Structure 1
Amino acid sequence: MKPVLFVTNHAPPFRVGAFQTLHERENVHFALIGGGVRHGGGGTQTALPFPTLHPPQRAVARLAASGRYRAVIAGLSGRTALPAAYAGARAGRVPFVLWATIWAHPRTPAHALSYLPLRHIYRNADAIATYGPHVSAYVRTKLPKGPVFEAPQAVDTAFWEAPAEPDRRGDFQLLFAGRPAPEKGFEILQQAADVGTLVVAHDRSPEQLRNLYAGSDVLVVPSLPTRDFLEPWGLVVNEAFHQGVPVIATDAVGAAAGGLVRHEQTGLVVPAGDVRALRAAIHRLKDDAALRRTLGENAKHEVAAYTYDAWAQGMSRALAAC
């Protein structure tokens, strides 16, 4: 059976397990086009457990149309890779699956130029696989002709749920894991966190980060919507949930919009940019240990379904449909 061509930018460490699982199911060759990475954990590992190619973006159309592949999957990475993959699949008369990852189109002049071509691909892809229901809802506003499937965001379950050595630095510990960039809402968190000990985890090893999750009472994900950014998911939520740590997230976080962080069930959800609401949520969890424990237990149970296999199954369903 011919392989599937999957066009994306990188195979960062947090994607390797998912990509390997999909390859084992479908015989996938990954065309890694490179380029800049906005989110943490980017870059491509040198040794990967699946076939890879490293074409320039200008060569993607020819590769997709080559006849060597039974289907083409492409994400939103790169300036020209997506339309090239789509055009190549059409020229080669093979099915095209869009891997959709955004739930709002960026509002910058450069992105405005890409809106109509991307809407055409949404409408005419043979199938679409998304990050979750929030992305699926957005995609359906583009009136796609093909079916839409969800491939849930996942991390390495075995690693993140393994016993850790708690790194605890206060009686009530708040954790911020990620880049303290403006769109991540770090300044809002600094204003809101007037109790407990706020720990910032940036450029930590996975083992160090797992220890910080284990030692923290709450993970806070205070992301903000900007003209060119809306948090697609937030894998730190999955990581914390595997350690049984509840999350306070804003409604601009994909993991909240997508249903993993559910208000008063697996965490607390507050309006993005609302310092008072975020402060109130922090105080609520500080003062209610029983609620923290219940949320953490629910979170660990809920995230168990978010696995590499579940992601690969979602992608496989999209391939099977076309």
Structure 2
Amino acid sequence: MSEVKVITNFCPHYRVKLFEELHNSMNVEFLFFSEGNESFWNKRIPLEKGKFNSRNIKGINVRGFRIAIGLIPKLFDRESRVIVKCIGGKFELPITFLISKLIKKKFILWTGMWSHPDTLIHRFTFPFTRYIYKKADAIVVYGTHVKDYLCSLGVDHNKIFIAWQTVDNTKFNQVIATDLILHKRKTLGIDENEKMILCISRLVEEKGLKYLIKAISMAAIRSNIKLVIIGDGELENDLINLADELGVNIKILSYIPNDEIIEVIASCDLFVLPSITTSTFKEPWGLVINEVMNQGKPIAVSDAVGAGVGGLIRDGENGVVFKEKDTEGLKILIDKILTQKDFADYLGVNAKKTIKDWTYDRMADGFKDAIKFVLNK
């Protein structure tokens, strides 16, 4: 048995080293309650299994709603003293919180939410969610934006710990040879004098891709820009039609394997993540930003992207931040970055310097500090 249980949906590739670090430094068991069917997850990306103690929890699917009933007996074991639970799971979150309180185990919430969804069901459940925030023994968050949001709800700032969002820097900071970059640009159909804007994103409303297309259509150098989007989703045809209507040169690739994505990142001239706030979503972080920073590329993100306002991007220093849906502001930034090489290089160099310190050790410290805090209460 383990003193600490971490309960989350599944193990994606970007969490393996974090979980291994927690496993190696503390007596932790990971319980996974999902089959990886979440809407945000590309089903072509395999789930991972690292070198840590874990179990997959049995459950039932009722009309697309998964209920991990096998979680309940795991919560009642006598060895664990601390339960760390991610914000996800319509059944798993409330049952974990309630049982933890019932049997007096320390409950730590792990969340990246910094805006509560504004649907009828979410408005109805918000009082209980806020109750969990206030009654959790500690909360681990993605960045300062989440901490500020929780504090605005009256949560004690002393019990909030930041586990800075991290990717495998050793994988994404590899130097990509110039000939490989030239080859990749050629395969993507980028002409010698063209500037490549890259976006890696699901093709859904909350990613704000139509605003990016509109901004490019307004740019002074629009005729020399090619927009490459990697991702799939329901809006693919709409985005292609909008680009055609506005005269934007666009290429959409539904999927590129993770071990090849670095070459695409290294080939771009500017990376943009134009996410917007919707009634059901606000970008918790955007880990692709960490990946791109490892390649020293200039980055523009909206202020609805967690990484843009939560402590990673410093506007005008290692990236730029624009107001969500502000096509005019984004257009100005696109022209500036793609025509002023010194400014683009300045952003890229600082991005690469910044991301060196965003390690899994540092992320794990947020969890460790929270666990120590609740055990010393």
1:88 & 1:240 partners in 2: Cα distance?
41
Q: Residues 44, 108 of structure 1: CA spacing in aligned structure 2 closer, same or farther, 3 A cutoff?
A: farther
Could you tell me which residue of structure 2 aligns to residue 7 of structure 1? Answer: 7
Maintained 8 Å contact 1:65/1:90: no
- Counterpart of 1:216, as a letter, is C
Equivalent residue runs for 1:196-275 within 5 Å: 196-202=225-231, 203-275=255-327
- Counterpart of 2:23, as a letter, is H
| Structure 2 residue corresponding to 1:65, chosen from 56, 76, 84 | 76
Greater Cα offset, 200-209 or 71-80: 200-209
- Counterpart of 2:270, as a letter, is V
Maintained 8 Å contact 2:16/2:48: no
| Structure 1 residue corresponding to 2:51, chosen from 46, 49, 52 | 49
Measured after TM superposition, the shift of residue 125 of structure 1 is: 0.9
Could you tell me which residue of structure 1 aligns to residue 174 of structure 2? Answer: 162
Could you tell me which residue of structure 1 aligns to residue 96 of structure 2? Answer: 85
- Counterpart of 1:112, as a letter, is R
SS in 2 for 1:225: coil
SS in 2 for 1:29: strand
Maintained 8 Å contact 1:23/1:29: yes
Q: Which consecutive unaligned segments of at least 5 residues does structure 1 have?
A: none
- Counterpart of 2:85, as a letter, is A
SS in 2 for 1:98: strand
Maintained 8 Å contact 1:242/1:303: yes
SS in 1 for 2:161: strand
Could you tell me which residue of structure 2 aligns to residue 185 of structure 1? Answer: 208
Measured after TM superposition, the shift of residue 3 of structure 1 is: 3.0
Could you tell me which residue of structure 2 aligns to residue 314 of structure 1? Answer: 366
Could you tell me which residue of structure 2 aligns to residue 24 of structure 1? Answer: 24
CA RMSD of aligned residues (A): 1.8
Maintained 8 Å contact 2:298/2:348: yes
Residue 124 (str. 1) matches residue 135 (str. 2): yes
| Structure 1 residue corresponding to 2:148, chosen from 137, 160, 164 | 137
SS in 2 for 1:193: helix
Q: Deviations over 1:251-289 (max 9, x none)?
A: 100101102122111111111111111111111111100
1:278 & 1:81 partners in 2: Cα distance?
40
Greater Cα offset, 136-145 or 4-13: 136-145
Q: How many residue pairs are counted as aligned between the two chains?
A: 322
Maintained 8 Å contact 2:17/2:50: no
- Counterpart of 1:65, as a letter, is F
Q: Residues 302, 46 of structure 1: CA spacing in aligned structure 2 closer, same or farther, 3 A cutoff?
A: closer
Residue 108 (str. 1) matches residue 116 (str. 2): no
Could you tell me which residue of structure 2 aligns to residue 38 of structure 1? Answer: 39
Q: Which structure would you say has the larger Rg? A: 2
Measured after TM superposition, the shift of residue 41 of structure 1 is: 5.0
Maintained 8 Å contact 1:7/1:33: yes
TM (norm. structure 1) is 0.95
| Structure 2 residue corresponding to 1:292, chosen from 344, 360, 364 | 344
Q: Residues 103, 33 of structure 1: CA spacing in aligned structure 2 closer, same or farther, 3 A cutoff?
A: same
Greater Cα offset, 45-54 or 266-275: 45-54
Greater Cα offset, 126-135 or 92-101: 92-101
Measured after TM superposition, the shift of residue 46 of structure 1 is: 5.9
1:158 & 1:288 partners in 2: Cα distance?
30
Measured after TM superposition, the shift of residue 86 of structure 1 is: 1.4
1:248 & 1:40 partners in 2: Cα distance?
23
Measured after TM superposition, the shift of residue 142 of structure 1 is: 2.6
2:343 & 2:96 partners in 1: Cα distance?
48
SS in 2 for 1:86: helix
1:242 & 1:197 partners in 2: Cα distance?
22
Maintained 8 Å contact 2:2/2:28: no
Greater Cα offset, 185-194 or 226-235: 185-194
| Structure 2 residue corresponding to 1:174, chosen from 185, 197, 201 | 197
Maintained 8 Å contact 1:61/1:87: no
Q: Percent identity?
A: 30
Q: Which consecutive unaligned segments of at least 5 residues does structure 2 have?
A: 60-67, 232-254
Maintained 8 Å contact 1:4/1:71: yes
1:46 & 1:151 partners in 2: Cα distance?
21
Residue 279 (str. 1) matches residue 331 (str. 2): yes
1:2 & 1:19 partners in 2: Cα distance?
14
- Counterpart of 1:38, as a letter, is S
Q: Deviations over 1:55-75 (max 9, x none)?
A: 233343432232131210001
Q: Deviations over 1:155-187 (max 9, x none)?
A: 011000012232322431110112121111111
2:175 & 2:3 partners in 1: Cα distance?
38
